[in-house]
């Protein structure tokens, strides 16, 4: 059956691939050389564009002149790897050459991004290759609706794209369209179910693998490899073995047979994602084994099939005694995994959250990235906005992720996180079956930005934002482009201003994590404290007098974080308990900074709402109305954050706002 461009139901937003984004390509004469499966996808994309805009597509050798040549050339002229491509223009022809099929697909979307610029002037030969071989989205989707977390855990964009009514979703076109969007921004892998694997989801590994194969078939034409989250206890839950001990020979044989059956159903299957010994999920600790033992057992089963196990480093004590000031959740990943460096198999990847806690609006970069030189590590981020507004607040995270990826754990002469993360770049997806894919239409920018930064971690996020604007709103009037930049580019810092201050984190409603509750987790077992009292606020994580977390970093960071005098203001309360009168490098006291930023954050949210309202004549009505509705909620929420946080610290400290503004 010939491959066709996915057709989504009427009313589903095209996101960053609207028809007009293909106008420059579709109005030209294009020669395509190659006959492999993904080349057929390239051909279908070009043919579809030409049908719309009057161009012509030619398959096979031709001596006639062409505006664009897309050719799969193997290693001829130098290999660019499976996913890389070259791009050049001369004598009136733009040429994209790739060694591998995926490379030609990515080369096509590169031409789409360039638009008319792809066909102007002359361009010397450029080589484009991704920084890492794996750029994956983890979906926290449940097959069966969970009584607490619903269809999608931490999902803010409707139901699952993959699962409905307890089985694989019947709408494969929507899944194909999702794969197309991901390929266009550089994502090449998807894990299709929740890392918290419940009983129903556990069966996807065995008797329900056919449903996973159905999803893989829909994603395959756009070069997306399918992964599966599995429970470590599968031999017990599914195989009725008495143990899941990773060193037990019967357990290892069970996994080997299970994996072989998976690859029989899905030959290009990517591998497993595993959350073990974390937040109640089973793991090797039950049997007195290490995480390396557990990961390596699965790696051994996957190795004959070129599969990978992604073992999450999110392991900590979630039953902490809040009275115990020595136990520090931030230390946990380093303490568990640094001693295991060099003990993981080559096809085992340790998946490390970018910060030591849990995707907060501001955290230091995890010291684990500098502690595992002999282990393949992937950096994990959260595109779904669990702690950054839940896609009700606009909060473009590109600048945050860029800071993480550019951070150098061993100082300026060392490698960046983007370079150290040889195991790939992974994020929790923010997409669902909402007509706008991400609930908040502007949250699409986060999904797109993650893909592009995964391809090139040192890219300028502001250029990526402009790229997203140009694709999503083709031929955009400058007033609209400028308005979108105004609304988005500083939105992360705006959100930070009216929520938890100076890196202290959390202060959210327990459970669902939306909205302010300054003491929401202060006496909980989750280890997420701010320790505010009448005299000050913050967590002492110094080596000298605190939990010692600062000492997990190499120099110069350990010394910089150790002292309140040298610690960056934006992380001060993460590393130090200081008086409310402590003077920041900005010249303000801590408590005045709290007051000022919370008033400023609300003002900036109100201004963004005003700017968006002024763009109504330039934006499709349904999209404008959805964003306007979300801005009303954002402004309401920002005011609530401001008033609760400011009132809390006025009452705690007894220090009035020096500017005399209303604090309740």
Q: Quickly list DSSP for 231-289.
A: -TTHHHHTT--S---TT-HHHHHHHHHHHHHHHHH-TT--EEEE--SSTT---GGGGT-
629 catalytically annotated: no
Q: How many residues does the chain have?
A: 664
Distances (CA, A) of 386 to 162, 239, 270, 429, 430: 20, 35, 27, 11, 9
CA distance 189 to 225: 5
528-555 as b/e, with b when 16 or more CB fall inside 10 Å? bbbebeeebbbbbbbbeebbbbbbbbee
Residue 274 neighbours by CB under 8 Å, 6+ apart? 195, 229, 230, 232, 294, 295, 298, 309, 310, 311, 312
The Cα 402–Cα 463 span in angstroms is 12
Q: Does residue 606 carry a catalytic annotation?
A: no
Residues 655, 591 contacting (CB under 8 angstroms): yes
**Which entry of 211, 245, 386, 496 is annotated as an active-site residue?**
386
Q: Measured between alpha carbons, how far is 549 from 542 in angstroms, rounded to an integer?
A: 6
Burial of 65 (0-12, 13-18, 19+ CB in 10 A): exposed
Residue the block writes with tokens 């998976």: 262
Neighbouring C-beta atoms of residue 92, cutoff 10 Å: 10
Pick the catalytic residue: 76, 126, 279, 620? Answer: 279
Contact (Cβ atoms closer than 8 angstroms) between residue 181 and residue 437: yes
> What CA–CA distance (Å, rounded) separates 548 from 335?
11
- DSSP state letters, 191-205: E-S-SS--HHHHGGG
Catalytic residue status for 358: yes
Cβ atoms of residues 309 and 300 within 8 Å: no
Is-contact 357 368, C-beta < 8 A? Answer: no
CA 426, CA 450: separation in Å to the nearest integer? 9
Nearest to 219 by CA among 145, 169, 272, 152: 169
CB neighbourhood size of 126 (10 A): 11
Q: How far is CA 311 from CA 45, 273, 423, in A?
A: 36, 6, 11
Q: HSE of 394 in the Cβ direction (CA atoms, 13 Å)?
A: 29
Instruction: Give the single-character DSSP code of 20.
Output: G
Q: Which residues are catalytic?
A: 279, 358, 386
């Amino acid at each position: 059956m010939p491959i066709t461009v996915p057709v989504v139901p009427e009313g589903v937003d095209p996101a960053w691939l609207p028809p007009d984004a293909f106008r420059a390509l579709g109005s030209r004469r294009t020669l395509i050389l190659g006959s492999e499966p993904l080349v057929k996808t390239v051909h279908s994309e070009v043919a579809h564009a030409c049908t719309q805009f009057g161009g012509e597509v030619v398959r096979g050798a031709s001596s006639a002149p062409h505006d664009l040549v897309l050719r799969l050339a193997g290693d001829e002229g130098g290999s660019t790897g499976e996913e890389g491509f070259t791009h050049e223009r001369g004598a009136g022809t733009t040429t994209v050459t790739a060694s591998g099929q995926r490379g030609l697909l990515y080369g096509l979307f590169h031409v789409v991004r360039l638009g008319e610029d792809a066909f102007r002037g002359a361009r010397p030969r450029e080589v484009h290759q991704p920084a890492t071989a794996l750029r994956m989205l983890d979906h926290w989707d449940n097959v069966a609706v969970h009584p607490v977390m619903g269809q999608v855990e931490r999902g803010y964009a409707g139901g699952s794209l993959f699962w409905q009514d307890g089985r694989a979703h019947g709408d494969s076109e929507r899944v194909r369209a999702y794969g197309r969007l991901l390929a266009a921004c550089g994502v090449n892998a998807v894990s299709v179910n929740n890392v918290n694997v419940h009983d129903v989801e556990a069966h996807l590994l065995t008797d329900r693998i056919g449903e996973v194969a159905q999803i893989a078939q829909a994603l395959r034409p756009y070069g997306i490899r399918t992964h599966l989250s599995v429970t470590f206890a599968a031999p017990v839950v599914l195989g009725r073995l008495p143990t899941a001990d990773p060193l037990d020979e019967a357990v290892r044989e069970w996994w080997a047979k299970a994996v072989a059956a998976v690859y029989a159903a899905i030959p290009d299957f990517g591998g497993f994602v595993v959350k073990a010994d974390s937040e109640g999920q089973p793991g090797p600790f039950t049997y007195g084994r290490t995480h390396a033992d557990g990961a390596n057992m699965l790696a051994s089963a996957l190795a004959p099939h070129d599969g990978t196990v992604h073992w999450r480093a999110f392991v900590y004590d979630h039953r902490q005694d809040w009275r115990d000031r020595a136990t520090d959740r931030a230390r946990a990943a380093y303490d568990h995994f640094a001693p295991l460096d060099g003990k993981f198999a080559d096809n085992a990847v340790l998946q490390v959250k970018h910060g030591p806690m849990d995707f907060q609006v501001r955290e230091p970069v995890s010291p684990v990235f500098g502690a595992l030189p002999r282990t393949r590590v992937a950096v994990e981020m959260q595109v779904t906005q669990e702690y950054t507004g839940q896609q009700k607040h606009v909060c473009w995270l590109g600048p945050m992720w860029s800071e993480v990826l550019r951070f150098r754990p061993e100082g300026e002469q060392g490698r960046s996180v983007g370079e150290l993360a040889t195991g790939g770049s992974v994020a929790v997806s923010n997409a669902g079956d909402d007509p706008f894919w991400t609930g908040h239409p502007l949250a699409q920018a986060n999904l797109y930005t993650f893909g592009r930064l995964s391809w090139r971690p040192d890219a300028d996020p502001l250029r990526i934002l402009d790229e997203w604007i140009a694709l999503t709103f083709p031929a955009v009037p400058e007033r609209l482009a400028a308005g979108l930049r105004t609304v988005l580019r500083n939105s992360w810092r705006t959100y930070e201003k009216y929520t938890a201050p100076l890196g202290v984190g959390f202060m959210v409603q327990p459970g669902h994590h939306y909205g302010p509750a300054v003491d929401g987790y202060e006496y909980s077992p989750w280890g997420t404290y701010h320790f505010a009292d009448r005299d000050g606020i913050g967590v002492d994580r110094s080596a000298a007098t605190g939990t010692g977390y600062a000492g997990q970093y190499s120099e110069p960071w350990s010394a910089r974080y150790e002292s309140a005098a040298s610690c960056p203001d934006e992380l001060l309360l993460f590393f130090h308990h200081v008086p409310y009168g402590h003077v920041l490098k900005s010249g303000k006291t801590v408590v005045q900074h709290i007051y000022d930023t919370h008033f400023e954050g609300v003002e900036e949210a109100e201004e963004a709402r005003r700017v968006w309202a002024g763009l109504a004549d330039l934006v499709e009505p349904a999209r404008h109305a959805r964003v306007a509705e979300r801005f009303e909620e954002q402004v309401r929420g920002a005011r609530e954050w401001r008033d609760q946080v400011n009132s809390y610290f006025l009452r705690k400290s007894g220090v009035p706002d020096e500017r005399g503004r209303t604090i309740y």
